[in-house]
Every structure is written in structure tokens, then in C-alpha cells.
């Protein structure tokens, strides 16, 4: 087989984004020699997104300076198994990262915990509402909120999340989210200061009897030193946050929370420009021997390791498993096979609000996670009887940015070009706002990932094929959330409300979220999961998988809070159980 | 072998690096001390962060004279001059687009451009084998042919209402663009026009920050902490670009 064989390490991490950095730090601290292979370039604040040039809308968002390039490899996409999948030739619906720090560099920092009931979606909903649609392949996680609570806490204190607790050990705290699971202590930082339009939302929601709170943010409300001793500065509300790197060391990212300590550790090594092609296994197929990777000159290397961890981002993890021939690929016809099964996403919608000119919102004063939210319509926080769907989502008035290419709100009926368009853009810039809904996607029999038979990446490997569409549950859920958002919007007394319902088939063209989930689902049953509740492969016990690919379905929140908690939960199992007796952490 | 283990940067290079020119200013720096940063091995040169290169020159490098005249007229119908601000061409949008199409964007550098080719559904997005530069070149020829066929004149020489009629036809995908995908072209045109009008002036458009002034967008400012709590107040923050602001240049 090709490739120079390199000296062995204890652990090889595939990908060096959020999960790679968290796990790397935990494992070197436990005394292991850890190597991270990152396909992209080295990235740091002062060189790649310094305050002197980070605020460049064209370069970073419209020309995708920090994102993965489809030219290197992309996915193919179709809505249904009967369609012919075609390559996603340019980025759109989601913006996967490449480079040190991964998407942690250019995320918003909206940092949530899932609800206790989210981890028991099947059993909880069946118990309360009866049998679910048989095509809905949702399942319990095999881990509970209480299991994860200490690890949520650990991630939040790594990041320095700014927020207001709502449930402290069962005691309700005014101003916080009353629906959240109990937390052991408050957030490490107070909530961010708030701009005008989210305050109007807070008041309107409150007057309607709802429970608004300042959303939890990985943007620092004050300078912060985390438990690794790494310091972050105060957020300046620059409004170039999501899709951009923070020039200020104010947004939690691998760079601003872990790298300074981890990269200084002699037991840790990072190799950038190193793309892992597959996981290598021995002749039994039950043990990973390392990985095969290629550098940017095209040289191939075999990197032996005792433990292999996939930290390559949700659908790349699934892709690597498929390319490595580990696990049984899912078939929508038979329903058999767990690998690639339960791919899910997020269903989002918006409600635009247009106010009279005497309202001045200064939308450019923003941060990635600056906003006021309600959680009254998330998960099972409300009675779903007769509604025809399960799950929900949060509703939030985010004030992330007023970047003028991206954020042009015009009333419905405005032409797309010409003098009327220009006037509408200019007149509404200061006096409009949007409420977003952030809906759950329940897994479905015909939404899945597998290898494409026709298209290949630059390494000659088959592309990953994504088959995905919004189903009835998503449409009903999203319409319901949009109605509720519009109701709060109206209560804010704008002159016009424009509810933009999510209609029709899922499209990969407009940006929605980079919240791809599933494909290597976790669970307690190996016939419907790829990894056990400790994120360990059922088939290859020295292979672990981190990230949202392990979500069996996607709740109505952004994923990274839970990704962080799961990573620390798994790290704990690796260090305290696996290392002592390497082998399956759960018997099949 | 690509072994790029970063090592800790020393205090001196830290100061000669980007922090020395931090827009946060001394006071903010003192309040929020910065964590150590790293030397990214062979890529790092103090004082040489990966800053963007401003466009140079004045002549068109992608468009021919005729193409530029058509594009200037077309863009001026998308974003016409009025009391709110200059038209697209005066704001540099034609020039911006010329530079964009002559570079990596025009070449579709980051796009997946391997076959087989097939048109697909709307949900599957961009499926043409034309790069953005080729798409424009092909479409421009189609628009000119359409103008000649319907009005016997070049697009650039038509009056505004005739041009608007053609833009409307483009929007409804009623103009044969020599086979180029009509929906792709029109949506790209609108996006690129907006980019040219509102992007940082270093890319050649948004001249005198006219697009930003029209909105009241302060541009590349980085610290709004003093303003967060000033609700419902019109702020007069003069706009600044990445390489400065007009106010700094002409001493206004
Ligand atoms: C614009 C944007 C906004 C977001 N906002 C939020 C938010 O507000 N809240 C939230 O919770 N989440 C948000 N997210 C999602 C969040 O960024 C991700 O959940 C998080 O980064 C996932 O961590 P990860 O380690 O799984 O993947 P990443 O952080 O993306 O890291 C994966 C790394 O693996 C590397 N890699 C991939 N394949 C290979 C290979 N074959 N070989 C070697 N290396 C490889 C990649 O280059 C990358 O660096 C956002 C994402 C984006 C893009
Ligand atoms: S809004 Fe705050 S956290 Fe986000 S990039 Fe700007 S300064 Fe950083």
C-alpha cells in the first residue's frame, strides 16, 4: 500500500476545529502523545483576521475566505432517493470550515444546552402523544441531560459564555430561560449589553405572557480568563462575527480558549495541510491501526496510532467512515445499516419587521449571539396535542449585524432592482429588524448520507451524497413557530410585519445554518447507531467520533454547546475507563 | 513533510505584530490583556499579516470597451443615480466587477467544476460549466444581440425606459443569453451589483463610501461599546474603510 509509514503516536485526531482542540487538550493532560492532522492551513488571530482587516464583508462572506472550497471536494445533493444527485458546486446552505480552529473561528457563538426531553425524543413523545409516524426514525440518545450537565458546565466555562441562568439547581431565576434543564451554577459571564430592537422584542414577548431572556453568547460581556488560564477580551459589538474571525480575542474559539496552552505542550503536535483520506484497520477490520493522509504536495503518509478520533465536522466524519469501510452503510429501502442514517439539519424561518423612521436600531452594533430569545415553543415546552408535529425551536431577535451586502431588508412587493429597490434598502436599513425561528429536524427514513456513484474529489475518492428534504413534521413545526414569531413581532408595533414561511423543498442554495447532524448517530442499540453513548465505534473500539454527526436527530437549538458537552463526556470515558482497559465501553 | 508545529511567539514579535496597530487602542488593550499568540512556522512574518490587496490601476482588464459600456449602463439601471446616492457606475461598480471577474472569483476558482454536467433542479443550485467570467461574457453578448434585435441599437445607447424593459425581460428569463443559464446570470448580477456598491472601497467599488453613507453604515469600525446602550439614537460616525476613510484623506 502507498504512503511512507511515520512513527506511531498514542492518538491521532482527524481535524483540528472545535472538537479536535477540546479533545487534544484533555488527552495530552492525561499524559498521551497526541497528533492532530488538519487539512487546512494554520490560522491565528493576528495573521488571518486581525482587527485591521477582519471587517471585510466581501472577502470573508461573499468570497468565502475561511470556508471549505468545493473545488477540493464537495457533496452531491438531491431531495429524494429517486432523484439524480448533483454536486454542490459552490457553497450555499451551509459553510463548512477548513483550517486550524475549524468552524469555531467563524461561528456566531450562540451556545445552548438541549432540553432534558430532547435526549429522549422517542420515548418522551410516545409516552405523551402516542405512536410516532413510522417513517420518523428518531431515537433516544443513550445519554441523558443529567449525564451531560457537568460537561455542559465545563464547555461553558472553557468559553466564558455570557448569559443569564434560568434554572439553578431547580430554583427558577428571574430573567433567565425558565425551560432550561437545571444547571449547577450560573454562566461564567453576565449577559451581554443589549441593543434596541431585541429590547423591544423582550418587552413585547413579556407582555404576551411569554418568557424572554438574553440569549447565551460566546461573545464576552467582560474580559475573561478560562480554566486553562487563557484570556479573552471584551466584545466590542463589531458586527463582523458570524462568518468572520474575531480580531479582538472576544469570541470563544479554539484559538482564543485552547490553542495557547495546547500548542505549547510538547506532547502535542499539529500538522496542517494534511488531509486524512481514510482510517486504516487491521486484517480483522475490528481495530484501527492509524490513518492514511496526504499533504499539500500530494505525498501520502501512513500515521499509526493506538486511538483514532474523527473530529472532521459532522458530515465529513460520516464520509470518512464510509471511505474506510467501517460500519454498515444505511439502506433506505431495507432500513438496515446505521452508517449515514438519520442525517438531519435545521429548519429556520424569519419574520421581518418594518418600523417608522423614528425608530433607529443602528443594526451594525451587533455580535454573533447578541439577542433576546424565547424558548416557550421549543422541544416539548408546550402542548403539541392536535398540532401534528413533535419538537419545536427557539424564537429570537438576534442583532448579529448590519453588514450592508447581506442585510438588506425590504418590504414585500419591493422590486429586486432599480430606484424603488434602492430607496427601500436605504429607508429600511436603520428601522427594520428580523425575528428568527430555529426549528428542530426529526430524522426520517429517506434522509441519509451515502457515497455518490458518479462524482469524485481531487483525491479520486467518491463524494458524499446527501439525500435530504423537509418533511411534514418540519413544515408544520416551522409554520407554527413562524406564526408565533409573527405574533410577537406584531406586538412590537411595527408598521409592517412580513412572515417568511419556509415553503417547499429544502434547497442547498440560500444560507440557512451550518448545523448538519447525524450520519454516525449515537445510541444504545448498535443496529440503529454507529457509536455507543461514549462516542466509541461499535465496530472498531479504538475509533471515536466527535461532533454533531452523532446526533440521532437535531433539536431546536444550535449544536455546539451539546457538541462541547459530548466531547468532554467522551473524553472522560476515554481517560477514566478506556485507557485503563482498552476495549468496548459498552457491550453489544 | 508538512510538520508545522507552532511555537510560542515572543513578546517582541507580539508587539511588532498586529497588536501594535490594533483598532482597539491603548485603553481597551490595557483593560483586556491579550493572550499569547503563536508563530505559525514558515508562514509568519511580523508586520505581514494576511491583509487584503487593494485593487490598482484605472483601465478595465476584463471587459472590452463595448462590454464595459454595456455593463455600466446595465448596472446603472440596477442601482440608478438619485437623491440618495450615485448610480452604480459612478460608485465604481463596473470597475469593481471588472476586477472581480479578472481574478479568482471570475475563474470560479473555488467551485467544483468536474463533470458530468446536468441541469438539475432549482434546489441543486449552480450547475453550469461556465465560470462566472464566462457567464458574464456570454450573457453580455446575448443582451447586446437582444437590444439590436428589438431596438436596432446598442444596449448602452438605449434610453432608460428601453433599458429597463430589457432588465425586466432578463429578470423574467425572457432574454436568450446565448445559452447561458438565465436564472444564474440574473441572480449573480444582482448580488455582484450589491457587492460593488456596498463592499469595502479597497475592491474598487463603493467609491467615497457612497453606499455606506446612503445607509448610515460606519464601515470598518471595530468598537461600538460606547454606543450599545444608546437606544433609538441616530449616531453620526463617519465611515471608515479598511485602508482609511475619505475624511482622513481630504481632511474634512
Ligand atoms: C457561519 C457559522 C455559524 C455558526 N454559528 C453557530 C452558533 O451560533 N452556535 C452553534 O452552536 N454552532 C454554530 N456553528 C456550528 C459550529 O461552528 C460547529 O458546530 C463546530 O465548529 C463543530 O465542531 P467540529 O469540531 O465538529 O467541526 P469544525 O470546528 O468545523 O472542525 C472540523 C475540522 O476538521 C477538518 N477536516 C475535515 N475533514 C478533514 C480531513 N479529511 N482531514 C483532516 N482534517 C479535516 C476541517 O478542515 C476543520 O478544521 C456555526 C457554523 C458556521 C459555519
Ligand atoms: S462581535 Fe464581538 S465577539 Fe464577535 S467578532 Fe466582533 S468583537 Fe469579536
Q: Is A195's CB within 8 Å of B228's CB?
A: yes
**Can you tell me the distance from the alpha carbon of A533 to that of A546, in angstroms, rounded to the nearest whole number?**
11
Question: Across residues A457-471, what is the average pLDDT?
Answer: 98
The x, y and z cell numbers of residue A300, run together, are 501520502
Q: Is A418's CB within 8 Å of B203's CB?
A: no
Predicted local distance difference test score (pLDDT) of residue B45: 45
**Can you tell me the distance from the alpha carbon of A540 to that of A285, in angstroms, rounded to the nearest whole number?**
7
More confident site: B36 or B123:
B123
- Taking the CB of residue A69, how many other CB atoms lie within 10 A of it? 17
Contacts of B48 (CB under 8 A, 6+ apart): none
Question: Across residues A154-172, what is the average pLDDT?
Answer: 98
pLDDT digit string, tens, across residues A199-213: 999 999 999 999 999
**Can you tell me the distance from the alpha carbon of B21 to that of A343, in angstroms, rounded to the nearest whole number?**
45
Query: Minimal Cα–Cα distance from A323 to chain B, Å?
Result: 20
- List chain A residues with CB under 8 Å of B32: 223, 231-234, 249-250
Answer yes or no: is pLDDT of A461 > 90: yes
Mutation test of ligand 2: which of A160, A216, A217, A219 has the most ligand atoms closer than 8 Å to its C-beta? A219
pLDDT digit string, tens, across residues B82-107: 999 999 999 999 999 999 999 999 99
Q: Is A404's CB within 8 Å of B212's CB?
A: yes
φ, ψ dihedrals at A24, nearest 5°: -55, -45
Predicted local distance difference test score (pLDDT) of residue B50: 86
Q: Is B169 strand, coil or helix?
A: helix
Q: Is A8 strand, coil or helix?
A: coil
Nearest to A443 by CA among A514, A381, A506, A521: A521
Answer yes or no: is pLDDT of A1 > 60: no
**Can you tell me the distance from the alpha carbon of A269 to that of A271, in angstroms, rounded to the nearest whole number?**
7
Across the interface, of A297, A362, A507, the residue whose CB is closest to B235 is A362
Which residue intervals of B53-181 are DSSP H helices?
Answer: 65-78, 93-101, 132-151, 160-171
Predicted local distance difference test score (pLDDT) of residue A3: 85
Question: Across residues A353-368, what is the average pLDDT?
Answer: 97
Q: Is A300 on the interface with B (CB under 8 A)?
A: no
Asked, as a colleague might, if the bond just before B177 is cis with ω within 30 of 0, I would say no
Answer yes or no: is pLDDT of B49 > 90: no
Q: What is the predicted ipTM?
A: 0.96
pLDDT digit string, tens, across residues A509-551: 999 999 999 999 999 999 999 999 999 999 999 999 999 999 9
For residue A357, is it left (φ>0), alpha (ψ between -120 and 50) or beta? alpha
CA of A314 to the centre of ligand 1 (A): 8
**Can you tell me the distance from the alpha carbon of A538 to that of A544, in angstroms, rounded to the nearest whole number?**
9
- Taking the CB of residue B185, how many other CB atoms lie within 10 A of it? 24
Q: Show the domains of chain A with their CATH numbers.
A: 4-578 (3.50.50.60)
pLDDT digit string, tens, across residues A55-101: 999 999 999 999 999 999 999 999 999 999 999 999 999 999 999 99
Grid look-up 409554520 returns A479
The x, y and z cell numbers of residue B111, run together, are 467551485
Least confident of A300-314, A328-342, A376-390, B23-37: B23-37
**Can you tell me the distance from the alpha carbon of A178 to that of A193, in angstroms, rounded to the nearest whole number?**
20
Grid look-up 484605472 returns B58
**Can you tell me the distance from the alpha carbon of B98 to that of B61, in angstroms, rounded to the nearest whole number?**
7
Contact A480, A502 (CB under 8 A): no
Mean pLDDT computed over every residue of chain A: 97
CA–CA–CA angle B211, B217, B222 (5° rounding): 130
Q: A557 CB less than 6 Å from ligand 2?
A: no
Predicted local distance difference test score (pLDDT) of residue B245: 65
Contact A91, A75 (CB under 8 A): no
Predicted local distance difference test score (pLDDT) of residue A509: 97
CA A338 vs CA A135, A554, B154: distances in Å: 15, 17, 61
Helix (H) or strand (E) holding A46: helix A45-48
Q: Is A228 on the interface with B (CB under 8 A)?
A: no
Question: Across residues A117-122, what is the average pLDDT?
Answer: 98
Contact A392, A481 (CB under 8 A): yes
Helix axes B132-151, B182-198, angle to 10 degrees: 110
Q: Give percent above pLDDT 90 in chain A.
A: 99
Nearest to A436 by CA among A352, A498, A509, A360: A352
CA of A97 to the centre of ligand 1 (A): 6
- List chain B residues with CB under 8 Å of A249: 32, 34-35
Q: Is A162 on the interface with B (CB under 8 A)?
A: no
pLDDT digit string, tens, across residues A375-405: 999 999 999 999 999 999 999 999 999 999 9
pTM for this prediction? 0.94
Amino acid at each position: 500500500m502507498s504512503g511512507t509509514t511515520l512513527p506511531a503516536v498514542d492518538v491521532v485526531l482527524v481535524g483540528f476545529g472545535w472538537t479536535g482542540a477540546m479533545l487534544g487538550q484533555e488527552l495530552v493532560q492525561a499524559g498521551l502523545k497526541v497528533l492532530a492532522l488538519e487539512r487546512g492551513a494554520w490560522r491565528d488571530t493576528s495573521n488571518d483576521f486581525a482587527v485591521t482587516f477582519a471587517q471585510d464583508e466581501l472577502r470573508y462572506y461573499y468570497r468565502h475566505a475561511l470556508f471549505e472550497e468545493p473545488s477540493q471536494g464537495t457533496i452531491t445533493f438531491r431531495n429524494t432517493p429517486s432523484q439524480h444527485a448533483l454536486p454542490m458546486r459552490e457553497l450555499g446552505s451551509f459553510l463548512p470550515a477548513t483550517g486550524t480552529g475549524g468552524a469555531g473561528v467563524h461561528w456566531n457563538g450562540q451556545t445552548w444546552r438541549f432540553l432534558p426531553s430532547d435526549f429522549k425524543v422517542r420515548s418522551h413523545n410516545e409516552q405523551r402523544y402516542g405512536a410516532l409516524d413510522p417513517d420518523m426514525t428518531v431515537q433516544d440518545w443513550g445519554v441523558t441531560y443529567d449525564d451531560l450537565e457537568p460537561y455542559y458546565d465545563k464547555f461553558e466555562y472553557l468559553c466564558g459564555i455570557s448569559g443569564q441562568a434560568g434554572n439553578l439547581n431547580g430554583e427558577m431565576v428571574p430573567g433567565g430561560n425558565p425551560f432550561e434543564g437545571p444547571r449547577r451554577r450560573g454562566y461564567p459571564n453576565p449577559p451581554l449589553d443589549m441593543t434596541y430592537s431585541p429590547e423591544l422584542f423582550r418587552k413585547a414577548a413579556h407582555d404576551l405572557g411569554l418568557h424572554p431572556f438574553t440569549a447565551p453568547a460566546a461573545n464576552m460581556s467582560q474580559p475573561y480568563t478560562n480554566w486553562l488560564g487563557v484570556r479573552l477580551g471584551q466584545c466590542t459589538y463589531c458586527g463582523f462575527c458570524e462568518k468572520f474571525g474575531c480580531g479582538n480575542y472576544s469570541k470563544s474559539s479554539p484559538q482564543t480558549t485552547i490553542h495557547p496552552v495546547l500548542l505549547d505542550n510538547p506532547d502535542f503536535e499539529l500538522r496542517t495541510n494534511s488531509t486524512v483520506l481514510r482510517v486504516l484497520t487491521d486484517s480483522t477490520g475490528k481495530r484501527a491501526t492509524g490513518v492514511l493522509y496526504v499533504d499539500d504536495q500530494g505525498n501520502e503518509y501512513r500515521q499509526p496510532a493506538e486511538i483514532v478520533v474523527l473530529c472532521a465536522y459532522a458530515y465529513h466524519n460520516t464520509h470518512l467512515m464510509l471511505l474506510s469501510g467501517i460500519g454498515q452503510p444505511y439502506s433506505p429501502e431495507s432500513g438496515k445499516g446505521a452508517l449515514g442514517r438519520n442525517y438531519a439539519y435545521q429548519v429556520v424561518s424569519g419574520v421581518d419587521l418594518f418600523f417608522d423612521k423614528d425608530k433607529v436600531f443602528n443594526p451594525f452594533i451587533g455580535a454573533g449571539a447578541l439577542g433576546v430569545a424565547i424558548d416557550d415553543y421549543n422541544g416539548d415546552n408546550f402542548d403539541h396535542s392536535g398540532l401534528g408535529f413533535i419538537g419545536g425551536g427557539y424564537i429570537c431577535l438576534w442583532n448579529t449585524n448590519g453588514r450592508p451586502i447581506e442585510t438588506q431588508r425590504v418590504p414585500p412587493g419591493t422590486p429586486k432592482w432599480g430606484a424603488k429597490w434602492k430607496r427601500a434598502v436605504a429607508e429600511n436599513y436603520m428601522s427594520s429588524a428580523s425575528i428568527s425561528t430555529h426549528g428542530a429536524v426529526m430524522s426520517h427514513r429517506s434522509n441519509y448520507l451515502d457515497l455518490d456513484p458518479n462524482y469524485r474529489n481531487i483525491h479520486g475518492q467518491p463524494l458524499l451524497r446527501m439525500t435530504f428534504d423537509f418533511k411534514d413534521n418540519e413544515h408544520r413545526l416551522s409554520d407554527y413557530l413562524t406564526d408565533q414569531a409573527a405574533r410577537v413581532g406584531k406586538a412590537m408595533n411595527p408598521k409592517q410585519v412580513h412572515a417568511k414561511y419556509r415553503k417547499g423543498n429544502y434547497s442547498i442554495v440560500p444560507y440557512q445554518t451550518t448545523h448538519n447532524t447525524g450520519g454516525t448517530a449515537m445510541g444504545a442499540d448498535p443496529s440503529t447507531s454507529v457509536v455507543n453513548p461514549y462516542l466509541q465505534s461499535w465496530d472498531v473500539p479504538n475509533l471515536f467520533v466527535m461532533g454533531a454527526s452523532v446526533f440521532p436527530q437535531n433539536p431546536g437549538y444550535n449544536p455546539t454547546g451539546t457538541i462541547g458537552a459530548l466531547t468532554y463526556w467522551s473524553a472522560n470515558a476515554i481517560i477514566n475507563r478506556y485507557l485503563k482497559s482498552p476495549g468496548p465501553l459498552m457491550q453489544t | 513533510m508538512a510538520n508545522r508545529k507552532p511555537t510560542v511567539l515572543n513578546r517582541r514579535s507580539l508587539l511588532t505584530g498586529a497588536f501594535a496597530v490594533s483598532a482597539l487602542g491603548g485603553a481597551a488593550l490595557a483593560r483586556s490583556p491579550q493572550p499569547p499568540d503563536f508563530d505559525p512556522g514558515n508562514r509568519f512574518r511580523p508586520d505581514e499579516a494576511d491583509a487584503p490587496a487593494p485593487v490598482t490601476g484605472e483601465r478595465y482588464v476584463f471587459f472590452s470597451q463595448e462590454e464595459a459600456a454595456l455593463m455600466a449602463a446595465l448596472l446603472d439601471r440596477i442601482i440608478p443615480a438619485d437623491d440618495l446616492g450615485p448610480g452604480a457606475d459612478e460608485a465604481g461598480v463596473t470597475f469593481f466587477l471588472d476586477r472581480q471577474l479578472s481574478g479568482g472569483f471570475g475563474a470560479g476558482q473555488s467551485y467544483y467544476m468536474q463533470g458530468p454536467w446536468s441541469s438539475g433542479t432549482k434546489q441543486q443550485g449552480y450547475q453550469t460549466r461556465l465560470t462566472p467570467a464566462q457567464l458574464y461574457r456570454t450573457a453580455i453578448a446575448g443582451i447586446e444581440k437582444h437590444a439590436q434585435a428589438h431596438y436596432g441599437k446598442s444596449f448602452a445607447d438605449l434610453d432608460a425606459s428601453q433599458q429597463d424593459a430589457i432588465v425586466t425581460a432578463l429578470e423574467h428569463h425572457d432574454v436568450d443569453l446565448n445559452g447561458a443559464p438565465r436564472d444564474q446570470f440574473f441572480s449573480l448580477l444582482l448580488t455582484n451589483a450589491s457587492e460593488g456598491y456596498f463592499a469595502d472601497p479597497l475592491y474598487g467599488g463603493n467609491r467615497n463610501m457612497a453606499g455606506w453613507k446612503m445607509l448610515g453604515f460606519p464601515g470598518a469600525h471595530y468598537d461600538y461599546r460606547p454606543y450599545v446602550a444608546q437606544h433609538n439614537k441616530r449616531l453620526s460616525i463617519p465611515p471608515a474603510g479598511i485602508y482609511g476613510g475619505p475624511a482622513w484623506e481630504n481632511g474634512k
